[in-house]
A and B are shown apart, each in its own frame.
Chain A
Amino acid sequence: MAGKDIFNVEVFFIVFREALEAIIVCSVLLAFLQRSFSSNTDARVYKSLRKQVWLGMAAGILVCFILGGAFIGVFYTIGSDIWSKSEDLWEGIFCLIATIVISFMGIPMLRIQKMQDKWRVKLAKSLLEDPHKEKGWKRFIKIGYYTKRYVMFVLPFITCLREGLEAVVFVGGVGLTSTGSNRATGFPLPVVCGLICGIAVGYAMFYFGKSASMQVFLVFSTAVLYLISASLFSRAAWYFTNYQFNKATGGDASESGSGPGSYDVTKAVYHVNCCNPEIDNGWDIFNAILGWQNTGYYSSVICYNIYWLVMIVVLGLMWYEERFGHLPGTKDTHLRDLNPMFQLKKKFGVVSDLSEAEAEALVEKVHKVKYNENGELIVEEESQEKEVEEKSAELKQVQNVNVEAK
């Protein structure tokens, strides 16, 4: 427990990951600006816009800290009462949530340029879309609807806020897995470390480019992240088994230390009367990273192995798809097509299934964007207006021709 009271490893990695993502957002925006101003020499506007990006990010993170602190505070004040009773059940559920979250967000770290691509397209869309063209309520959620002038501030602000809040929610959830209903003391240090590492890595990437050693670092941290995730999955199963046992025994077991009686002998694969991660110092870190328990249940051991098996298969499929453009045994099926969430999003048009060429065109467009002296976006609206004017002009001409013909 002592270890976890000071440094919660899961929290560190989540914060690290989200910080990295925030940095990527900024780097992409800065790159856009750089391209737009490469031919332009209005250094004053460029500087001011760059300042907006940094300020937006800083403000986003700040607000996120405030909201997040309040959120976690409330979460724990209310939460500690709710789940102190069936602690093992809740710990199991939060372990499960954490493992799902980490599993889905970990792998993209290995393809950092994909992450960057994603953000490039996303941000390009945000910049270029004319919110006034949207019909009904949808336009109110578009950033550009409210401001054009401070788009370079608002965009990183909103993005950092959203990413950050996501992190807070996960940190809150994951933190609950750290045994016991109220263990918030294990948060500050890993949050700070995660922020520092995330920013450092992002900064290094932006200024020094992606190097082999950077990739090795990312591989290493992803491996650690998945070790944790596998252990969380195993622990979820362990907690569920223990919850059942505690229910059957009337909550006796948790009081009996690590000796006989503290575990369900009928479901145990192994047990040692020591090294209890919930009692003995040191073993809790072993538990956090490698999922160690002094009682191995069939469920926890099997879940640990299954987790890795699934991971290996998924990574194999991803590798194959990257290499050959589709999944083995199919012609045009992609991994994401197997994701029900993706299908759902596609159905409701939340995901625009842009082709690569379309995405490139979008990005190209952003590069041609012009800013006025106030730093407002000007170019694409004009061009659109021009297009409309031209079209209407053509229409008029055609109409005129028709009239003349009559």
Chain B
Amino acid sequence: MTTYLVTGASLLGSGSGDLLLADGHLGDPADAPPDAVRIDASGLVALPGLVDLHTHLREPGREDAETVESGSRAAARGGFTAVHAMANTEPVADTAGVVEQVWHLGQTAGYCDVRPVGAVTAGLTGQRLAELGAMADSAARVRVFSDDGVCVSDAVLMRRALEYVKAFDGVVAQHAQEPRLTEDAQMNEGTMSGVLGMQGWPAVAEEAIIARDCLLAGHVGSRLHICHVSTAGSVELIRWAKSKGWNVTAEVTPHHLLLTDELVASYDPIYKVNPPLRTADDVEALRAGLADGTIDCVATDHAPHPTEDKECEWAAAAMGMLGLETALSVVQAAMVDTGRLTWAEVADRMSVRPARIGRVSDQGQALETGSPANVVLVDPAATRAVEPADSASLSRNTPFRGMELPGAVVATFLHGRATVLDGKLQ
């Protein structure tokens, strides 16, 4: 295995230091062997490899949109060394067999650690629990369970899931969307939906479920994670639940940190996503929540769709956006360049905390001797215009196309091996 000596990097954005990547771990740079490959990292920020709690890799079932390999290549280009593959595949990842298949595909691809998420209910139908324990005990060692795409709306089922996963230190990641309040919903309910004549998706549909589930988690003493928080009210509720000492965590997507429902006026389904883009006030509350730690982490909700599912009228289009390759740049634009997060805090929100929530023990560790050599080098001074055709994903549905975004991933190391060097996949 190649040994790398990274020199002159700004470790977590402060000072200047060297990193030795040898045998999959970080070593003492003073011990660098003479044949170590030297990487001049002056001007670059070194962060622990990013961990995504929310990725749709589409395999098995929709290999036309993404595969485990193509999605993990996109992840590596975005600086990720671990992703959590959501369960809404075909077949659904609701058995040990499917999660092991996805886990093996990730191992074979080798671009990042692919951690399968298990479905909470069999077939995502919200009727009865999937075999959560079998998935937890499988080779994939599933710890995050989610019906993402649909809400576990039945309060009793949600309560039981929260209780049951305590046996193996699991967490239920809720897609908070009250189904009756969002039937046929197309976009955020507000000024824009009224003008555009679109069925509204009220904030309360998200917030009502979050309030209920926080109360449930508090009641049964379980770990609850809230997926893709999108409204100011949700941030308030999570802040309140944390103040009670309940074990509630939350994520926000890059697109909800940057984009608003004003974009829907174009009627271009590239902006159609679940949960929908909200207002500027919501964006501000999400940024504040991420800055003060109410929202624990950034998760991409990377959702590839083939061209024909977006090249149509709004109502017929699929919901979702690409996110892996632009996440760090969007966070830099929304949070770092605005002075709301330091790079050390970016490492916390995009690596340390998501690894802890997902119970990924060999990710999200400090950049110090003995840690697994999962490292990303970022050039914060770079800028680039997002070009969909450049993506490593099989899909092209990025809402950031054409936007000038700051920052570029120069290198990504997964357990000491370079998956990206000089900005190129290895």
Do A and B pair up? The answer is no
Show the binding face of A for B, using Cβ within 8 Å: none
Show the binding face of B for A, using Cβ within 8 Å: none
